[in-house]
Amino acid sequence: MTTQKRVAVAAVVVATFALAGVLAFVAADVLRWGQSVRQGDTRFAAAAGADGMWSPRTLLPAALSRGLLGLEDDLEFRSAVQRFRLARPRQPITQFSQLTERSGAERALARVARKGLDGRRLAAIANLRGALALEEARLESSAPPVRRAIGHFRRAVELNPSSEDAKFNLELALRLLSGGAFTAGGGGSREATPASGAGSATAGSGY
C-alpha cells in the first residue's frame, strides 16, 4: 500500500470515529432535552420558575439537537405561558414595571399565536390573551378591552370546544359588557369583577 493510500485510509478512519463521536453526543443531548422538558413541566406545574428552565446543558450547541427534535415551537409556547404567569395578572397594579411585564406577556403570546401549533394550544393562548385583555379592562374601566377579550375567548372556544375555562371566561366577559360594568370611554365607576385575576386552570373557574 502506497503512502498516499495509507493517508487516505487513516483519514477515513479518523472521520468515521469523529462522526461516531458526534452522533453519540447528539444522542446524549436528545436524551437530555427529553428529561429537561419533562422536569421543567413538573416544576412549572408548581411554580412559574426561571428563564430557560426547560433547556438542558448540552454537549453540542443546543440549537442542533433542539432543531433535530423540532422543539422550537414547543419551547416558545412554554416560555409565553411562563411570561403570562410571571406577569401576575391577579395582582393589583402598584408600579409601572407590572404593566411592562403584562405587555411583554401579551407580545409573547401574540407571537406564539402565529405559530403552527395544534388547536388545543392555540386555544390556551387565546384564553390567556383574553385574560390579559379583561384585566386591562378592569384597570382602565373601559369597554374596548372587554370586547377584545370576548374575541379571544370566542376563538379559544372555537379551537377547543371542551375548554371549560374559556367558556366560563366568555360568559363572564359577555355578562360584564352587557351589564354595563365598564364605560365606553374609560373612567367612571364599575362593578367588582367576579373570578378576577388570571392563572387558575381549574375547570369552570375561569382564567
- Residues 116-156 have pLDDT tens digits of 889 999 999 999 999 999 999 888 888 899 999 999 999 99
**Which of 50, 23, 56 minimizes the C-alpha distance to 38?**
56
Per-residue pLDDT, 165: 93
Per-residue pLDDT, 182: 63
Question: DSSP secondary-structure letter at 47?
Answer: -
Q: Which residue has the cell 370611554?
A: 185
CA gap 125, 165 in Å, rounded: 12
What is the pLDDT averaged over residues 49-55?
Answer: 83
Q: Which residue has the cell 453519540?
A: 24
**Which of 115, 106, 129 minimizes the C-alpha distance to 75?**
115
The amino acid present at 158, given as its one-letter code, is E
* 21 confidence band (pLDDT: 50, 70, 90): low
* 174 confidence band (pLDDT: 50, 70, 90): very high
Give the mean pLDDT of the chain: 77
The rounded Cα 194 to chain-centroid distance in angstroms is: 25
The rounded Cα 14 to chain-centroid distance in angstroms is: 44
Give pTM, 2 decimals. Answer: 0.74
* 37 confidence band (pLDDT: 50, 70, 90): confident
Q: Is 50 helix (H, G, I), strand (E, B) or coil?
A: coil
Residues 6+ apart with CB under 8 A from 189: 141
pLDDT at 27 over 70: yes
Q: Which residue has the cell 427529553?
A: 34
